[in-house]
Chains A and B, each alone.
Chain A
Amino acid sequence: MGLVTLHTQALRASAVDPYLKLLHRGLRAARLNNAFPDRRRLQASLDALRRAMDHGLYEELYLDSRTGLPNMATLTRVLTDQEIAPESLKKMPSREELVAREHQAEVFAQLLQKYDYYTYVGDKALAPVDTHRTLLRRHIPEKGEAAFRIEMTKLDGSGVYMHLVIELSQVSSLWRRAMIDLDEDGETAAADEAFRTLVYRCAHLDAETIFVRLHGIEGVHVERVTRGVIGPVIFWLPTTDGTRYTMELTDPRLAQGFAVWRGAASGKLQSPQMLLTCASDFAAIDVREERSNDPLSPLLSTTLQDSERPRYQDIRTRYPFRVFKDRKFVATKGLKPLAKEIMQAAGTRNLVYDLR
């Protein structure tokens, strides 16, 4: 099936449930630590979506065809549903009344479905499209120094769902403009809008680039940049009407591997298949070994043109940090060979969890 609009795949009817269930299970199986977006919130959004579809509130589920993840419209749906739920519930008859009248008319059956969905979604911590906070780690007033932790979760424009953590310290001075402000008691911190925007805009870059970009700001010392990225997700869903879902995978290794796999294996498989990839990317002064164990993302140093290499070396000398990249896979039995092929081609050894 083709795309419904730019980078947008619509899942319909019988394909929705297996997709949501597999992704939900995949997130749990991936054993994501706090470098990644909160998987429970993402799972809560998936559960809410499943309920909304089951209850007939939506007919289609929109995914980003580049990453196979729910797109902005989809994640926003449940968030806005949650916002309007309290007011809507107030206006509805009681559940008992709706149950009693369920068979009297279609409208009451629909309202009952909506009532249950709104009640369910009401108090759930759902996945935000964007969220950002700045935390104070330590404050040494006599030195004018404070250390912060910036956390950002973002549905990135590339379609992946990511979490960025930056640990940095800032030395204030009278003439220098502070990027992060402390409150009067020196207990809480808030990032300056410009700095916040800088982080937001840079979030799609790898940890190494973010480290260099922020470390270059006067008075700022970056200690660690961590990026945890959920996606892309490859899936194959058997449908009774022969629908084939289009994916626009941006990574050529993944795209090619999936195309070959689909040609060879899909006809033989009866059950839905999914390959979830979760990447982590660290740039920090305390990383022991610089290495990329991510088969889809080599180190910047290995991809530079010769002309750029001297400038890069100079930067690296000035900023003594190391980079470590990794990626883990969660795969159903049918797609496990693809994960192995990708690792083999890149010469990496990655964790591959079973997705059952």
Chain B
Amino acid sequence: MPALPLSMRLLGHRDRWLFSAPKNRRKSLEFVSPFAPMSGSKVNLDVLNRDVAYSGEGISVKSLETDIRSEREVQDSKVGELKQLRDRNVNIQTAMADELKKLRKFSDYLNGTATKGGVWSGIKEVLSYIPGLSGLVLSQRSIEELLKQQYHVSARRVKDAAEYVDTLKQSEQELYEEINRINEKIVEMARNEREALNYVLELEKLQEQLKQEEQTLEAGSVEARDIQAQQDKVYAKLSEHSTNVQLYGSAEERYAMLKDNTRKLAETIRNLGQDIQQYTTAASIKLDMASAQIQAIGRAADASVVMLEMKKSLDVMTESMNVTTQFVSDTQVFFRSNLDTLLKELDTFDETTSQMLDENLKKSKEIEDARIAAAIQKAKAEQNEAAS
């Protein structure tokens, strides 16, 4: 038998999880056994044979690790989606920056501010930036057609960006569903932990009673041996269920941490989605409202090359693209400041949990070693006694 009572060891030195349980919960664990008398012992041993009603599929260090890992996979997949969005965001931003550059340059030349050889030579240069127009002169291309094409490109870019919103809304919803699932797990783990604690206390009481009864009996007598045999059974049960206390307590805390991270991720995604919606709605309204002007000005420009009006038209498109580019740019900052932090936290979470698991495994091994050492010690002591 170990030097210290098992309950002391479990509740005092090595089981941090039990101490993390709230006081009121421990209070509720007070248990009064009916203690019906048994043959050969006055102590009621029903406790040893009763089933402990744990919900779920049982728990072990390995199963806990597997469960947590599968829950983490949901988070990881959402983080993966965010990473993909970030990459896509970079692509869109690059494309939009390119479009804006063309529009601005075109606008500047029309404004006459960036021309060295006059407006017309400037426009020729600018046209070389527009796809398919390389090397053409202005008179060879309809401004109306050009503006319509640019309008189409702008509308497409805004729509590309707006498509993020659906993905993000879906991810957010799935994460909240995940939080619900995790909450159920937390409740289940807490309930099981309470169940295990109750049982451990019952066993501890029984152990105490058996010890007291043993003291009233003659050492080495059949009755004393019988009591010792019962104590061994109690010890085995205590060992099994105190491990459960530890595992369920650990699972509860780890699921709670997982929930916190999942909520952070969901909130990050929601904020990002709202920002995107705001930006793209603004850009799309601008484009909707500008379409008639763009067409009218293009037409006028074709007829008489109305530079000033044409510049206004380009400015409208530039403004709309600006709004969207601003959003894409802000989103990059958002990704940097939120996603990266989140990822770091998740990594820390992983590190902490694996440390915890390692500690748990180490402690379990220590307990087991002590148990084996005690058994060997006893076996040797008995051997020595017989030899003398």
For chain B, residues 115 to 166, give those with C-beta under 8 angstroms from any C-beta of chain A: 136, 139-142, 144-145, 148-149, 151-152, 155-156, 159-160, 163, 166
Q: How far is the CA of A4 from the CA of B152 in the complex (A)?
A: 21
Binary A-proximity of B263-305 (CB < 8 A = 1, otherwise 0):
0000000000000000000000001111111111011001100
Q: Does A28 contact B (CB under 8 A)?
A: no
Q: How far is the CA of A108 from the CA of B143 in the complex (A)?
A: 43
Interface assignment of B14: CB less than 8 Å from any CB of chain A: no
Could you say which of B149, B152, B295 has the most chain A C-beta atoms within 10 Å of its C-beta? B295
| Size class of the A contact interface (CB-based, 8 Å) | 35 or more
The closest CB in chain B to the CB of A84 belongs to B159
A110 and B172 alpha carbons, distance in the complex (Å):
14
B287 CB → nearest A CB, Å = 7
Interface presence of A80 (CB below 8 A): yes
List residues of chain A with CB within 8 A of the CB of B290.
5
Contacts of A84 in B (CB 8 A): 156, 159-160, 163
Is B173 at the interface (CB under 8 A from chain A)? yes
Asked if A105 lies at the interface with its beta carbon under 8 angstroms from chain B, I say yes
Given A5-B292, A91-B167, A157-B298, CB of A201 within 8 Å of CB of B159: no
Chain A residues with Cβ under 8 A from B295's Cβ? Answer: 71-72, 155, 157
Q: Which residues of chain B come closer than 8 Å to A93, judged between CB atoms?
A: 170
A139 at the interface (CB under 8 A from B): no
Residue of B with least CB distance to A93: B170
B144 and A71 contacting across the interface, CB-CB below 8 Å: no
Q: Please tell me if B169 contacts chain A, counting CB pairs below 8 Å.
A: yes
Asked if residues A194 and B139 are in contact (CB atoms below 8 Å), the reply is yes
Instruction: Determine whether the beta carbon of A130 is less than 8 Å from that of B145.
Output: yes
Contact with B along A86-123 (1 / 0, CB 8 A): 01100111000000000011011011001000000000
Chain A residues whose CB sits within 8 angstroms of the CB of B156 once the complex forms: 80, 83-84
Which residues of A have CB within 8 Å of B140?
193-194, 197
Distance of A204 Cα from B163 Cα, bound (Å):
37
Compute how far the CA of A155 lies from the CA of B295 in the bound complex, rounded to whole angstroms: 9
The one of B145, B170, B292 that contacts A200, using a Cβ cutoff of 8 Å: B145
Nearest Cβ on chain A to B290's Cβ, whole angstroms: 8
Chain B residue with Cβ nearest A91: B167
* Interchain CB contact under 8 A, B169 and A107: yes
Pairwise interchain contact A197-B152, C-beta atoms closer than 8 A: no
A151 contacts partner chain B, Cβ-Cβ < 8 Å: no
Residues of A40-87 contacting chain B, CB below 8 A: 62, 64, 71-73, 76-77, 79-81, 83-84, 87
Contact indicator B144/A8 (Cβ below 8 Å): no
A79 engages B152 (CB within 8 Å): yes
Determine the chain A residues whose CB is within 8 A of the CB of B177 once the complex forms: 104
With a cutoff of 8 Å between Cβ atoms, the chain B residues found around residue A88 in the complex are: 163, 166
Whether B151 pairs with A72 at a CB distance below 8 angstroms is yes
Q: Is the Cβ of B302 less than 8 Å from the Cβ of A81? A: no
A7 to B68, CA, bound (A): 60
For residue A129, CB closer than 8 A to chain B, the reply is yes
Interface size counted on chain B using CB atoms at 8 A: 37
Which chain B positions have C-beta within 8 A of A107?
A: 166, 169-170, 172-173
Given A84-B163, A130-B148, does the pair A201, B291 have CB atoms closer than 8 Å?
no
Which one of B173, B287, B298, B299 lies within 8 Å of A105 (CB-CB)? B173
* A304 interface contact, C-beta 8 A: no
Prevailing SS type, chain A contact patch: helix
How far apart sit A202 and B142, CA to CA, in the bound complex (Å)?
10
What is the bound-complex CA distance between A84 and B167, given in angstroms?
A: 14
Q: When the two chains form the complex, which single residue of B144, B160, B173 contacts A108, counting CB atoms closer than 8 Å?
A: B173
Known contacts A83-B156, A84-B160, A193-B136; is-contact A201 B293 (Cβ 8 Å): no
Contact B296 A6 (CB under 8 A): yes
A7–B148 touching, CB < 8 Å = no
State in angstroms the CA–CA spacing of A80 and B287 once bound together: 13
B2 CB, min distance to chain A CBs, angstroms: 53
Determine if B166 and A8 form an interchain contact, defined as CB atoms under 8 angstroms apart. Answer: no
Please tell me if the beta carbons of A62 and B291 are within 8 angstroms of each other in the complex. yes
Q: Pick the contact of A197: B141, B151, B170, B303 (CB < 8 A).
A: B141
A157 touches B144 (CB 8 A): yes
Chain A contacts of B144 at CB under 8 A?
Answer: 157, 200-201
Complex-state Cα separation, A92 to B149, whole angstroms = 29
The answer to whether A201 and B302 touch (CB under 8 A), given A5-B292, A88-B163, A111-B170, is: yes
CA distance A87 to B295 in the complex (A): 29
Are B292's CB and A8's CB within 8 A? yes
Q: For residue B132, give the distance in angstroms from its CB to the closest CB of chain A.
A: 9
What is the minimal beta-carbon distance from A328 to any residue of chain B, in angstroms?
A: 26
Q: Please state if A73 and B287 are interface contacts (CB–CB under 8 Å).
A: yes
Q: A5 and B155 in contact (CB under 8 A), knowing A72-B294, A107-B173?
A: no
Cα A130 to Cα B302 with chains together (Å): 15
Q: How far is the CA of A38 from the CA of B152 in the complex (A)?
A: 21
Residues on A with beta carbons closer than 8 Å to the beta carbon of B287: 73
**For residue A130, which residues in chain B have a CB less than 8 angstroms away from its CB?**
145, 148-149
Q: Is the CB of B148 within 8 A of A4?
A: no
In the bound complex, CA of A203 to CA of B140 (Å): 15
B155 and A7 form a contact (CB under 8 A): no
Q: Is the CB of A76 within 8 A of B173?
A: no
Q: Considering the complex, give the chain B residue whose CB is closest to the CB of A115.
A: B166
A8 interface neighbour in B149, B159, B173, B291, Cβ under 8 Å: B291
- Chosen A-B contacts, 26 in total, with CB atoms closer than 8 Å, are A4-B289, A5-B292, A6-B292, A6-B296, A7-B296, A72-B148, A73-B291, A76-B155, A77-B155, A79-B152, A80-B152, A80-B156, A81-B159, A84-B159, A88-B166, A107-B172, A107-B173, A129-B152, A130-B149, A193-B136, A194-B139, A197-B139, A197-B145, A201-B142, A201-B144, A201-B302
Beyond A8-B291, A157-B144, 4 additional pairs, beta carbon < 8 A: A64-B292, A72-B295, A73-B155, A193-B141
Q: Which 8 A-B pairs have the closest CB atoms?
A: A157-B299, A73-B291, A107-B169, A72-B291, A5-B289, A193-B140, A194-B140, A6-B292
